[in-house]
Every structure is written in C-alpha cells, then in structure tokens.
C-alpha cells in the first residue's frame, strides 16, 4: 500500500465511524485499485460487506459514508457506482504535487523500511571442485537482486555464500592430488591444476575403478576430519582454486557476496546433535541418529527420519544447515533468513525448518523463507547443453551473450551508418549481454522454469533488457538533442493535461508499491513487469501520434514534460539497479 492509499484508507475509516458509530472503528474499508480506469483510480468496497450487519442497502451505506468522507485534497468528489462501490479518482493537482515532491528525492518517493531488520540472503552457494552450473547462476542473479532491494529499503543485509566446501568427496580429490601433484601438498605456493571439473572427473574415475585408491581416499577423509596438516593444506588448495573460478563469474555479474562455507560450521555440529538429544527429539535408527518428521513419509508410507548423524559418525547437509541456522539467529541476529535455491531442495528446507522449530530454536520474531526457483532449459525444452552435448560452462554462457550483443550492435551501427570507438562497442556489448541474461531470468516468475534463448533475451522488442536499456538511452537522447540538463529543470513545474501524461504520472507514482511488494514476496519479476509497463507508458506519451510533443512544445508544457522524461529515466535506472542491471547513456 502506498502513501496515497494509506491516506485514503484513514479517511475512509474515519468516515465509517462518523456515519455508523464507534462500533465500526477498525473496520477495513476494502480499498483496492479500480478495476477499470474509467471509474477512477481506487474503489472502496466496504459498503457491500456491511449490508447484512446494518440491514441496509449497500448503496445507502455508501452514500452515508461518502457524506462524511473528506478526501477533497486528494480526490475528485467520490462517486457511488453499481451496487455500492465508492469510486475515487485522484485529482490532477494532487498528482502534480506528488511528482513535484519526488523530483528532488533520490529515492523517488519510496520510503525506507520503518523498522530496518537484519536479514540474511543465502544465495549462489556452489560446491568446491564441482561445476558452478546454471542453477547456481539463477540463485546468484535472483539472490543478488533480492539483496539489493532489501538493502535499498534500509535493511542490514548479510549476503552469504554457503559454499559446499566439505564432505567425503574431498578424500578422493586429495588422494588424487597427492598422486598427480605430490609436491603441491608441501609447498606453500598456490598451484594451478587447470580445470577443476575435469580434475574431479578424473579423480572420480580413479575412485570408481581402483579399490586401493578408494581406501586411500577414505583415509584422507579421516585425516581431513582429524585436521592433519598436509591434508588440510591440500583441501585449502582445492578451495582456493574453485574460489578463483567462482570469483570470475561474480565479477562478470558484479555480485558481492561473503563466503561462509559449510566447513565454517564444523565445530558446531556435535552440539546440534547433542541439543536435539536433550530436547528428546533424537531417535537411533539402524545406528544413525535422526529426528522423525511430521508430514513426510517414505515410499512405503512410513514416517520419514531426517538423519543428522550417520552410523559412521559423519554429519549431513541438513546437520550443517541446522548449525548454520542457529549461528545466524544467535550470532548474526538475523530476523529473516532467505535461502535461494532450486525448487528441488524444497523438502530439504521444509524438513530442517521443522526440526529447528520443534527443537525451539526459532524465536517468534524470526522468519525462515525458502525462495525456490525453476529450471533453466535449452531451446529444445530439455536440460540446457552445449552443441556437443556437454553441460554449459557459466563463463562461456555469459561470454556468448556478450559476443552476440556485440555482433548485433555492429550490424546496427552499420545500418545506421554510425561510427563508434572500439571502447564504446565493447562497453555497450558487455552491458547489454550481461543484462540480457540477468533480465531474462528475473523477468520470469521465479517458480517456473524458463527457456534460455539468446535470440529472445537480446531482442529489442518485448519484455527484455535491451528494450528497457533503450528506453533509458532514448530519454538521455532527448536531453542531448535539446541540450537540456535534467538536473536543472525548475521545481513545482509539473503540469498534467494530456491523457498520456496522466497515465505516465500515475504509473511513476506506483514505484513504492512495487518495491514494497517485492520486499515481502521476494518476486523480482514484479519489478520487471513494472519497468516494462512504465517504458510502454513512456513510449505512448512520447509517441508522435497518440502522445505529446516535448522539445518542440511551448512553455510551461515543455519543462513539465521534460520533468516527466527525467523522472521516467531515473525510475528506470533505479529499478534496473535493483535488478543488478547497469544503464547506458547511449547505445
Ligand atoms: N551447495 C548447495 C547446492 O549446490 C546449495 C546450498 C544452499 N544453501 C543452504 N544453506 N543449504 O545445491
């Protein structure tokens, strides 16, 4: 609900009491956006819901409310329509005043959160020595955008990379490292083992075909857990190598994140099991320690246990998550913890959340949210692969987007007979390519799977990054053409006359509503839709036929329209920045 709606709501509540007495204090006036702009901007539907209680016709009730309603500063005289809707139409003078007010506001009228909270966004979280795949890319893009929105709202956000840097697979990797780089374990220098994914594959192959190697690998696991120096050294080398590879992706995407991998919580794991035992939740089942879950059953329909310690003493993914959850609540003081992973992990989160709740570890003021997302599919609707059938390397995927953007740009420059520097071309291609990938992901409702198509995401038409970037650059073009400094347009100069001006103005004033909805529901696609719709409204306003003239217009319209241009551009820039997307002044 935005500031205007809040004001209207208060007035409606007061009118209700004035008309029917204090019994009606606190009754929700049911204020919603108008179903049809013909009838105004908002409507209050409360009269219909009170008909029974008051024993009156809804239209009569609406009439009694309207008689006491004072919204003259904000709205035209309210009208009663249909069975008893109260229709409210915003006054032009009110809209003008609102726009004049946000013109000087870097937040464009979006109020910061009233009660800033400590929030954790757990995202990206690839696994060491394994491939960072498109699922991690989605998590990185969505998680980063959520974090940016929460930060903008003034929350104290901790961006955590829950890297998979521990587990029995390290036995095999270290044993193999010892074989192929015997020196690496004793030298202090970092080593370059090349492509870690193929290293992992080779190690796995050794492991699967050689019983002796398997035994060595197992011993390495024991040595690692016991903290043997050379084994730890090897483990660190592997982590460092992966970290460098991940960092390349984070830099390309301009993503900030703090690594706090699974290994960080190792010392806390025994206490998790101990405390579960103390609270009477722990059950021994075939040597494993587990907690039985409610609402989850195995294939035979029997209750499902969540194993927190295996019969060999090892801990699980879920145990680490339980430990990290406690740490985040106790040490980090988080009030909302957001986990961004593929929907396939839904059960995992539901299960350990349940166990933590049962154990009484989640205070009432702490919210746990799993933010699931669907798959990234190839153009054939199947799992995304390269032409050669291999899984796609993220680096290649991003590079390809940039080089396609560059090819498109060069064609366009030729068509337009424009000369641009190499530097300009590279920069535009980089921004367009990376934005296209991010926007294609964010503009989908994240819960659904989406098809990864370079052609679609790089298209200048439709709900794409290039379309949005172009709308922004086009507005900057107006300022260049008219030699206008947007920062120096007069104050209190907004004047709304034309239909397309009013439509654009109303839309500009909805940014706060959209941002607060994303802050709650964590669906960045709503912000994308808003920006797309805004660009369309702008294009209608600036359209030669159905819209208005801007640079050619007379004063005072000219300045007012330039302010609308500037506000649109600033809204686009701000909105895109919250999606992790940079704008271009020219493209
Ligand atoms: N490393 C996991 C994976 O690659 C994701 C971790 C998500 N975060 C968490 N706290 N479990 O699937």
CA dist., res. 324 & res. 158, Å (int): 13
DSSP 308: E
Mapping DSSP to helix (H, G, I), strand (E, B) and coil, where does residue 31 land?
strand
CA dist., res. 418 & res. 163, Å (int): 46
Q: How many CB atoms lie within 10 A of CB 109?
A: 19
Of all atoms in ligand 1, which is nearest to the CA of residue 317?
11
439 Cβ partners below 8 Å, 6+ apart?
457, 464, 465, 468, 528, 579, 581
Q: 287 — alpha (psi -120 to 50), left (phi > 0) or beta?
A: left
Phi first, then psi: give them for residue 368, nearest 5 degrees.
-110, 125
Max Cα distance, the chain (Å): 90
CA dist., res. 161 & res. 147, Å (int): 12
Cβ-based burial of 202 (10 A; exposed 0-12, middle 13-18, buried ≥19): middle
The label of the residue with tokens 């009491």 reads: 17
- Ligand 1 within 6 A of CB of 339: yes
Among 329, 345, 369, 372, which residue has the most ligand 1 atoms within 8 Å of its CB, making it the best to mutate? 345
SS3 for 373-386 is ECCEECCCCCECEC
pLDDT at 389: 66
Of all atoms in ligand 1, which is nearest to the CA of residue 341?
7
Distance from the alpha carbon of residue 341 to the mean position of ligand 1, in angstroms: 7
The label of the residue with tokens 């690998």 reads: 217
The residue among 306, 286, 310, 289 whose CA lies nearest residue 221 is: 310
Helix residue ranges per DSSP H, 28-133: 46-54, 58-68, 92-103
How far is CA 165 from each of CA 129, 270, 286, 369, rounded to the nearest angstrom? 8, 18, 28, 23
Q: For the chain, which domains are there?
A: 3-90 (3.30.1360.70), 118-163+264-375 (3.40.50.620), 169-255 (no CATH)
544 Cβ partners below 8 Å, 6+ apart?
none
The label of the residue with tokens 């520097």 reads: 421
Concatenating the DSSP letter of every residue in 329-341 gives HHTS--SEEEEEE
pLDDT at 393: 86
- Ligand 1 within 6 A of CB of 430: no
The residue among 523, 570, 486 whose CA lies nearest residue 108 is: 570
Phi first, then psi: give them for residue 186, nearest 5 degrees.
-105, -20
Concatenating the DSSP letter of every residue in 138-207 gives HHHHHHHHHHHHHHHTT-EEEEEE--B--STHHHHHHHHHHHH-GGGGT-SS----S-HHHHHHHHHHHH
DSSP 90: B
Distance from the alpha carbon of residue 512 to the mean position of ligand 1, in angstroms: 32
Contact 542, 530 (CB under 8 A): no
Q: Taking each helix axis from N to C terminus, what angle separates 557-578 and 465-482, rounded to the nearest 10 degrees?
A: 150
DSSP 259: E
pLDDT at 383: 82
- Ligand 1 within 6 A of CB of 353: no
- Ligand 1 within 6 A of CB of 162: yes
DSSP 537: H
Mapping DSSP to helix (H, G, I), strand (E, B) and coil, where does residue 20 land?
helix
- Ligand 1 within 6 A of CB of 321: yes
- Ligand 1 within 6 A of CB of 341: yes
- Ligand 1 within 6 A of CB of 127: yes
The label of the residue with tokens 């209050």 reads: 44
Mapping DSSP to helix (H, G, I), strand (E, B) and coil, where does residue 295 land?
strand
pTM of the model: 0.94
CA dist., res. 231 & res. 384, Å (int): 36
Nearest CA to ligand 1 atom 9: 162
Per-residue pLDDT of the chain (587 residues; tens, 9 = 90+): 788 999 999 999 999 999 999 999 999 999 999 988 888 999 999 999 999 889 999 999 999 999 999 999 999 999 999 999 999 999 999 999 999 999 999 999 999 999 999 999 999 999 998 889 899 999 999 999 999 999 999 999 999 999 999 998 999 999 999 998 887 776 666 666 767 888 898 999 999 999 999 999 999 999 998 899 989 999 999 999 899 999 999 999 999 999 999 999 999 999 999 999 999 999 999 899 999 999 999 888 888 999 999 998 999 999 999 999 999 999 999 999 999 999 999 999 999 999 999 999 999 999 999 999 999 999 888 888 776 667 788 999 999 999 999 999 999 999 999 999 999 999 999 999 999 999 999 999 999 999 999 999 999 999 999 999 999 999 999 999 999 999 999 889 999 999 999 999 999 999 999 999 999 999 999 999 999 999 999 999 999 899 999 999 999 999 999 999 999 999 999 999 999 999 999 99
Nearest CA to ligand 1 atom 3: 126
**Cα distance from N-terminal residue to C-terminal residue, the chain:** 36
- Ligand 1 within 6 A of CB of 125: yes
Read off the tokens for 540. Answer: 């209608």
């Amino acid at each position: 609900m935005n500031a205007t709606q809040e004001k209207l709501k208060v007035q409606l509540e007061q009118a209700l009491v004035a008309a029917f007495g204090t019994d009606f204090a606190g009754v929700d006036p049911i204020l919603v956006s108008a179903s049809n702009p013909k009838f105004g901007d908002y409507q209050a539907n409360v009269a219909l819901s009170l008909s029974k209680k008051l024993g009156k016709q809804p239209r009569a009730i609406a009439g009694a409310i309207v008689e006491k309603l004072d919204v003259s500063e904000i709205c035209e005289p309210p009208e009663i329509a249909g069975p008893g809707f109260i229709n409210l139409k915003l006054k032009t003078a009110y809209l003008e005043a609102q726009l004049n007010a946000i013109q000087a506001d870097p937040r464009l009228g979006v109020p910061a959160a009233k009660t800033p909270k400590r929030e954790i966004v757990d995202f990206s979280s690839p696994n060491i020595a394994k491939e960072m795949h498109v699922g991690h890319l989605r998590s990185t893009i969505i998680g980063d955008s959520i974090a940016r929105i929460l930060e903008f709202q003034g929350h104290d956000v901790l961006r955590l990379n829950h890297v998979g840097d521990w587990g029995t697979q390290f036995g095999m990797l270290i044993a193999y490292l010892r074989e192929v780089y015997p020196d690496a374990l004793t030298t202090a220098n970092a080593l370059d083992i090349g492509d870690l994914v193929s290293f992992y594959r080779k190690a796995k192959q050794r492991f699967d075909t050689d019983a002796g190697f398997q035994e060595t690998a197992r011993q390495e696991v024991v040595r690692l857990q016991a903290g043997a120096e050379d084994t730890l050294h090897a483990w660190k080398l592997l982590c460092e190598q992966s970290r460098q590879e991940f960092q390349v992706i984070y830099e390309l995407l301009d993503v900030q994140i703090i690594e706090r991998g699974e290994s960080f919580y190792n010392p806390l794991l025994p206490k998790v099991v101990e405390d579960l035992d103390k609270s009477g939740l722990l059950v021994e089942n075939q040597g494993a320690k587990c907690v039985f879950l409610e609402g989850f059953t195995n294939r035979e329909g029997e209750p499902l246990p969540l194993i927190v310690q295996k019969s060999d003493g090892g801990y699980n993914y879920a145990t680490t998550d339980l430990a990290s959850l406690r740490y985040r609540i106790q040490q980090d003081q988080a009030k909302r913890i957001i986990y961004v992973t593929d929907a396939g992990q839904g059960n995992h989160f539901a299960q350990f959340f349940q166990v933590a709740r049962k154990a009484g570890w989640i205070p009432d003021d702490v919210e746990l949210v799993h933010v699931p997302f669907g798959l990234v599919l190839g153009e054939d609707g199947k799992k995304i692969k390269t032409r050669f059938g291999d899984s796609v390397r993220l680096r290649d995927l991003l590079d390809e987007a940039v080089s396609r953007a560059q090819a498109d740009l060069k064609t366009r420059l030729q068509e337009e007979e424009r000369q641009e520097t190499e530097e300009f071309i590279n920069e535009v291609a980089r921004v367009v390519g990376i934005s296209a990938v991010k926007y294609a992901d964010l503009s989908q409702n994240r819960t659904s799977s989406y098809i990864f198509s370079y052609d679609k995401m790089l298209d200048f038409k439709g709900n794409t990054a290039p379309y949005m970037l172009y709308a922004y650059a086009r507005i900057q073009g107006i300022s260049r053409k008219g030699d206008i400094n947007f920062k120096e347009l007069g104050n209190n100069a907004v004047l709304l006359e034309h239909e397309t001006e009013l439509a654009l103005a109303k839309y500009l004033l909805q940014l706060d509503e959209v941002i607060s909805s994303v802050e709650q529901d964590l669906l960045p696609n709503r912000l994308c839709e808003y920006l797309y719709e805004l660009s369309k409204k702008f294009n209608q306003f600036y359209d030669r036929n159905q819209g208005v003239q801007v640079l050619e217009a007379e004063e005072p319209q000219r300045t007012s329209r330039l302010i609308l241009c500037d506000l649109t551009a600033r809204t686009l820039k701000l909105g895109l920045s919250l999606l992790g997307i940079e704008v271009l002044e020219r493209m």
